[in-house]
Amino acid sequence: MAKRKTEKTEDYPALGRWLMFLERPKAVEYIVYGLYAVCALLILLDFFYTKIVYFDTERYWGFYGLYGFFMCAALVICSKMMRVFLKRGEDYYAPTDTQGEDHPDHDLMKENVHD
């Protein structure tokens, strides 16, 4: 945190400086609590309207929320397990692949705010 406090932000765009409220302590916590609250609200809303749907499955209370949550968790865990079998070093296909090489400078315009 000490490093952040000394960061020179004068050169940053105004919008970026404003967005740096995200770095305040607890800012992320508040966002996460906000997300919990929105999720709770959305799933409770299911009590208050009649679903017009195609399948009976959709009629279950909170189907979309729970399906999204558990399938996404399963997606990430499956992917993580796939990594065990599929992950190789960046130079695996080198030199016939671009993954292991740097993007050439003639196609770039690297500039930093402090330059």
- Using CB under 8 A as the binding rule, the residues of this chain from 89 to 108 that contact another protein are 89-90, 92-108
Does position 1 interact with another protein (CB under 8 A)? The reply is no
Cα–Cα distance, 29 to 27 (Å, whole number): 5
Nearer of residues 6 and 85 to another protein, judged by Cβ: 85
- 3-state class (DSSP) for residue 38: helix
Among 27, 30, 60, 79, binds another protein (CB under 8 A): 79
Among 15, 21, 24, 47, binds another protein (CB under 8 A): 15
Does position 44 interact with another protein (CB under 8 A)? The reply is no
Does position 21 interact with another protein (CB under 8 A)? The reply is no
Residue 52 CA neighbour count, 13 Å, CB half = 0
- Whether 65 and 42 have beta carbons less than 8 Å apart is answered as yes
- Whether 61 and 67 have beta carbons less than 8 Å apart is answered as no
